[in-house]
Amino acid sequence: NAGVTQTPKFQVLKTGQSMTLQCAQDMNHEYMSWYRQDPGMGLRLIHYSVGAGITDQGEVPNGYNVSRSTTEDFPLRLLSAAPSQTSVYFCASSYSVRLNTEAFFGQGTRLTVV
């Protein structure tokens, strides 16, 4: 049982480049989300989805796009990378959109923008 799979684990980008962070879950979870984690800031919600075809913004959505064409996949796109987007990114999924069940996290993507 793979759970939540994120790729890549590490990435270095140049300012202005674009890229997509991949996230897939095999647990048939309704709810998926993306967070970034910076020192002293905790996990901040970027975007989330309550089901296929439905996405919404979190606390820090600027510079990021998401889509949810299937239940399993929830990619995060960086449109034009900036040094301020250097961070650790986590994808998470939960069974219920009521958020009263456990959230499972991927192993994270460490992104550096130079």
Partner 1 sequence: RKEVEQDPGPFNVPEGATVAFNCTYSNSASQSFFWYRQDCRKEPKLLMSVYSSGNEDGRFTAQLNRASQYISLLIRDSKLSDSATYLCVNGGATNKLIFGTGTLLAVQP
Q: Does 95 bind partner 1 (CB under 8 A)?
A: no
DSSP state of 63: T
Q: How far is the CB of 31 from partner 1 (least distance, A)?
A: 8
Strand 109-113 and strand 10-13: the pairing is: parallel
Minimum CB separation of residue 71 from partner 1 in Å reads 17
Q: With binding defined as CB under 8 A, does residue 33 bind partner 1?
A: yes
Q: Which residues pair with 93 in a beta bridge?
A: 32, 104
Residue of 45, 52, 79, 82 that binds partner 1 (CB under 8 A)? 45
Tokens 């998926």 -> residue: 32
Three-state SS for 93?
strand
Q: Is 14 in the site for partner 1 (CB under 8 A)?
A: no
Stretch that binds partner 1, among 12-20, 63-71, 78-86, 101-109 (CB under 8 A): 101-109
Smallest gap from Cβ 68 to partner 1, in A, equals 14
How far apart are alpha carbons 100 and 70 in whole angstroms? 22
Residue 8: which of 113, 106, 81, 74 has the closest Cα? 106
Q: Which residues of this protein are in contact with partner 1, per CB under 8 A?
A: 31, 33, 35, 40-45, 48, 50, 56, 58, 90, 92, 94, 97-100, 102-103, 105-108
